[in-house]
């Protein structure tokens, strides 16, 4: 949905890009100066930057984000260009979320059984290699045209939990301090957004001359990136195997996740966030072009990702800067602001400039919330259960999205504005869950396999 072939009338002011870039630059550049003033030198010297292995991981994570970004840039455009009807596109969306719902609760435990999250990340790269090769070599009229959709959905599910879980476990195994891990969380969000912008630039550049060769070239680029990713995963960290048997780990994981109310609150907040993000990406383009309005979507997409980058740079200020707010307090306010932004979108579809501003505000909040939730998972969730907790929390989000897609697409029982309002309601509920977590989560967890 980030590709726009025809000229559009409404475009964001070019100065907006420079404003976002400058804000990101100053937020990052000025943080050490204020940090030095608000924190003792001994605390500042305690691993304020990520170690070299974390930088290696960030490079690999950028490659993974680029692989995800190339396909997300096209969105419905590729389906329409290949002659698919609206019913077929809807079926493709339902198939993707349905497969994610089916495999979401099994993937982290399957990754344990095949050798840990290191192997899951390798599988992610192999799946993208398969999708790129399929689209490059197999005609779109092939009867198994839905196979790449299934593979892409499976890869996206792996991307949602495997890289973060792998990072956290290896951070513990290699003895790095938590400060380095915390900085890596917001850098992951920052570089993921930058990689998505780079993916859009690459895809649009390849489409500039000829659409047919452009789509094929994008598949070739994905194949090339996937091969580099496979090499990096293979030559990078080698996750140490767990000592407990797979069957015992699975049973203890389910028991611990569903019995700890702090993990349940975090999982619920994560599910609400992912639900709202998915709803946004499904409906943002139809919302902007409602009533026949012409909008240059390809120029708005970088603004949204830039806003997410800017939001991620706020995280270290709130965590280590002069602010005395707890992470739970920040998330209560952030979820509330995001809910209000989507509430306005659900109520008013008229002014494009206002909508784009609200969309940027939404993504800036997402950029802040994602590393904040990752930090809270480090406090409240045992490292061995991190992947399972993230993946299980996606199941209700995928189920809700699938249900709404069926109601809207097949039965026309619900309007787009109502769906956006439900996403806003979910964000308000996530804000409430963070308030409860602040009351109930004063004591950190005790590592379950050591207790």
Q: What share of the chain is helix, strand, coil (3-state, %, to 5)?
A: 80, 0, 20
Q: What is the pLDDT of residue 299?
A: 86
Burial of 99 per CB tally in 10 Å (0-12, 13-18, 19+): buried
CA distance 258 to 256: 6
3-class SS of residue 443: coil
* Partners of residue 10 on adjacent β-strands: 295
The continuous run of DSSP H or E covering 95 comes out as: helix 86-104
295 secondary structure, DSSP code: B
The stretches of 2-85 forming alpha helices (DSSP H) are: 15-38, 41-44, 52-74, 76-81
Tokens 């990096």 label which residue?
Answer: 232
| Residue 173 structure tokens | 């195994």
Structure tokens at 356: 């784009």
**DSSP for residue 378:** H
Residue 350 confidence (pLDDT):
65
Report how far apart, in Å, the C-alpha atoms of 375 and of each of 168, 182, 185, 267, 340 are: 11, 6, 7, 13, 24
Instruction: Tell me the residue length of the chain.
Output: 451
- pLDDT (tens, 9 = 90+) of the chain, 451 residues, equals 444 444 447 888 888 888 898 999 888 888 766 655 444 333 333 443 456 777 888 999 999 999 998 877 666 667 766 777 778 788 888 888 888 888 766 766 665 555 577 888 998 999 999 998 988 887 665 556 788 888 888 899 889 988 998 888 888 777 666 777 888 899 999 999 999 999 888 887 877 666 667 677 788 888 999 999 999 988 866 555 554 444 445 555 667 677 888 999 999 999 999 999 999 999 998 888 887 778 888 889 999 999 999 999 999 888 765 555 788 999 999 999 999 999 999 987 668 888 999 999 999 999 999 999 999 999 888 887 888 888 888 889 999 999 999 999 888 889 999 999 999 999 999 999 999 998 876 554 444 333 3
pLDDT of 140 reads 63
Buried b (16+ CB within 10 A) or exposed e, 329-353: ebbbebbbbbbbbbbebbeebeebe
Closest by CA to 163, choosing from 259, 77, 237, 269, is: 237
Q: What is the pLDDT of residue 96?
A: 86
- Kindly report the CATH number that applies to the domain delimited by 52-440: 1.20.1250.20
Rg (alpha carbons) of the chain, rounded to whole number: 21
* Token couple for 425: 């309601």
CB-based contacts of 170-174 (< 8 A; 24+ apart in sequence)? 170/53, 170/57, 170/237, 170/239, 171/54, 172/383, 173/239, 173/240, 174/53
């Amino acid at each position: 949905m980030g590709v726009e072939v025809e000229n559009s009338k409404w475009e964001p002011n070019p100065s907006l890009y420079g404003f976002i870039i400058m804000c990101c630059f100053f937020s990052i550049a000025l943080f050490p100066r204020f940090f030095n003033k608000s924190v003792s030198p001994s605390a500042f010297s305690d691993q304020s930057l990520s170690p070299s292995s974390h930088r290696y991981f960030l490079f690999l994570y950028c490659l993974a984000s680029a692989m995800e970004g190339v396909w997300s840039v096209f969105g419905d455009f590729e389906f329409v260009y290949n002659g698919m009807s609206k019913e077929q596109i809807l079926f493709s969306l339902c198939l993707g979320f349905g497969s994610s719902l089916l495999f979401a609760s099994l993937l982290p435990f399957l990754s344990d059984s095949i050798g840990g999250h290191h192997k899951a990340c390798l599988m992610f790269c192999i799946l993208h290699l398969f999708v790129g090769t399929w689209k490059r070599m197999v005609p779109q009229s092939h009867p198994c045209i839905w196979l790449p959709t299934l593979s892409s959905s499976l890869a996206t599910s792996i991307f949602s939990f495997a890289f973060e879980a792998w990072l956290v476990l290896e951070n513990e195994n290699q003895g790095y301090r938590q400060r380095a891990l915390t900085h890596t969380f917001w850098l992951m969000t920052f570089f993921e957004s930058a990689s998505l912008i780079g993916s859009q630039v690459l895809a649009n550049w390849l489409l500039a001359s000829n659409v047919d060769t452009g789509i094929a070239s994008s598949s070739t680029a994905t194949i090339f990136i996937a091969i580099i990713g496979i090499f990096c995963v293979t030559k990078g960290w080698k996750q140490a195997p767990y000592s407990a048997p797979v069957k015992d780990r699975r049973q203890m994981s389910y028991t611990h996740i569903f019995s700890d109310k702090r993990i349940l609150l975090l999982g619920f907040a994560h599910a609400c966030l992912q639900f709202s993000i998915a709803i946004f990406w499904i409906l943002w383009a139809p919302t902007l072009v409602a009533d026949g309005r012409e909008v240059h979507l390809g120029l708005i997409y970088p603004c949204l990702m830039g806003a997410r980058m800017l939001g991620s740079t706020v995280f270290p200020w709130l965590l280590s800067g002069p602010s005395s707010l707890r992470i739970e307090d920040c998330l209560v306010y952030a979820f509330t602001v995001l809910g209000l932004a989507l509430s306005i979108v659900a109520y008013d579809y008229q002014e494009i400039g206002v909508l784009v501003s609200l969309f940027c505000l939404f993504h800036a909040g997402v950029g802040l919330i994602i590393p904040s939730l990752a930090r809270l998972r480090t406090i409240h969730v045992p490292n061995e259960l991190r992947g399972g907790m993230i993946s299980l929390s996606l199941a209700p989000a995928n189920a809700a999205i699938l249900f709404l897609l069926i109601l809207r697409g097949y039965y026309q029982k619900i309007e787009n504005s109502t769906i956006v309002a439900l996403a806003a309601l979910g964000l308000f509920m996530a804000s409430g869950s963070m308030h409860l977590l602040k009351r109930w989560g004063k004591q950190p967890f005790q590592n379950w396999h050591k207790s």
